[in-house]
Amino acid sequence: MSIIIGLVAAILIAWFGAGAIKKHAKIFYIGAVALSVVVVVVTWTGADLTFPALIKNNIWSVVARGALGTAIFIIVMMIGALKNGSNPMKRLMPIRAELSIIASIIILGHNFAYGKTYFVFLFTMTKYMPLNQIIAAITSIVMIAIMVPLMITSFYKIRKKMNGITWKKLQRFAYVFYALTYVHVLLLCIPLLAQGNLSYFTTIIVYSGVYVLYLYMRLKKALLLKNVTRTKWVPVLCVVLALVVCAITGGAMHASDRATLISAENGQQEDVDVEELSEENSSLKEEEQMGEEELVVEPTEEVVEMQEDEADTNEESAVAEVNKETESDKTASIVSKTENTSSSNTSSSNTSASEGTDASNSGSLSSGTTETPAPQAPAEPEVVEPTTVYKDGSFKGTAYGYKSNVTMSVTISNDKITNVSVVSQGEDALYWAMAKDVIGRIQSAQSPYVDAVSGATISSNAIMNAVANALDAARN
């Protein structure tokens, strides 16, 4: 989509601004430099991460990702293939050099902005780069080496001082530059298309259509200059190129289908794993319940000993109560005999003795009628059911990263993280290659909160936050 917007903008600028560009070329050069500086500063500071999605995807990506500069180069390329004497040739040919300088400045800004990451990786951390990224970075360096001399020699004052033949030979390297541009685009887009990002299919089709059209127009013009009005080789060559492009894009789509199939198979495998885990968990729970029943039905030796000790204690208490009752009865009879053999002086003393005897007998009766408490049954041991923090199974979580949503899958068994895998992501390939180290750290630490990878902090945090969200979904 970015290249389509870039082409529309480039055509409008070139067609309607042709006169202004020719008269005030320096102003446009300064504007291109200012735009490039803004791209570098915003990208290096990460301010573009705060842009709304609409601006980031449809405006900022066109300027910062090189789509506008490449689109202007496509205009410059197509001008050379236009028919001599045609209205487009008359209007655009006079500003071809100026357009190439503007495009070169914008492309240099793009390379400075992203070269801080890609070129540094290329020379210091190649192991983190996929093969297509390595080749694309090398291609960029070669393109810059070609573009800078072409840009410098496009200034009128410098061109005027050069030998005409030398200048023309140097300018022929532009064809190599155009070809490498197409290769660079395919290297970056086809792997992303193979991962299932269908938006890059449009980019590949647009670039392929532009280059096939250019080759057709260029070859036709070359044959017409030799007074050959009709030839069967031009359409044949175009058909061959179209087949090559279809093979490339078709292979990418086939790779995308394979990726989708693999993803589906992985999803089925995850379902099977979840079922197996569920069966294992159910069997474990049954075993635990059986063990608990055995524990309640058959008391242990310690419980039996406690019951026997309690019975002995109860028997001793009953014997003590009986002895106490017998002693009370004996005391009461002795007092009664003493009172009968003694002489009674007054009725009050007899009354007191009788009341004392009645009180004693009452006390003895009260003691004798005290019931022994029944022995209590031993308390059943309390059964504590095992509890877990998380449910078993696979759970997904999503968090936003550097430029896309990152979705992770976390598999849990008995409160342990047994597997952490990537479901989907659209992060920058280099940052993602580094950030993936966080996955191993999470599994080792059994926690989503680990140290982020230096140099890929945003993508690392996205992985950790996605895993944390998955664990929240799994919480009991």
Per-residue pLDDT in tens (0 to 9) along the chain, 476 residues = 788 999 999 999 999 999 999 999 999 999 999 999 999 999 888 787 778 878 887 888 888 888 999 999 999 999 988 888 889 889 999 999 999 999 999 999 999 988 887 888 888 877 777 888 889 889 999 999 999 999 999 998 898 888 888 888 898 899 999 999 999 999 888 887 887 777 788 889 999 999 999 988 888 887 766 644 444 554 555 555 555 545 544 444 444 444 443 444 444 444 444 444 445 555 545 555 554 444 444 444 444 455 555 545 555 554 455 454 444 444 444 444 444 444 444 444 444 434 444 444 444 434 444 455 555 656 665 655 557 889 999 999 999 887 788 999 999 998 899 999 999 887 877 678 778 889 999 999 999 989 888 767 888 889 999 999 999 999 88
DSSP 47: G
Contact 72, 28 (CB under 8 A): no
Closest-CA residue to 325 (of 369, 359, 288): 369
Cα 292 to Cα 385: distance, rounded to the nearest angstrom: 9
Q: Look up residue 82 and give its two tokens.
A: 């236009």
**Where in the chain are all domains bearing CATH 3.90.1010.20?**
389-474
Cα 171 to Cα 164: distance, rounded to the nearest angstrom: 11
Cα 121 to Cα 35: distance, rounded to the nearest angstrom: 25
Q: Look up residue 146 and give its two tokens.
A: 């070609």
CA atoms within 13 A on the CB side of 285: 11
DSSP 101: H
The single-letter code of the amino acid at 281 is N
pLDDT of residue 1: 74
Q: Which residue has the tokens 């140097």?
A: 170
Quote the Cα angle for 317-318-324, to 5°: 90
At the topology level, CATH places domain 389-474 in Sufe protein. Chain: A (3.90.1010)
Q: Look up residue 61 and give its two tokens.
A: 């990506």
Query: Which strands make up the sheet holding 405-413, listed edge to edge?
Result: 393-400, 405-413, 416-424
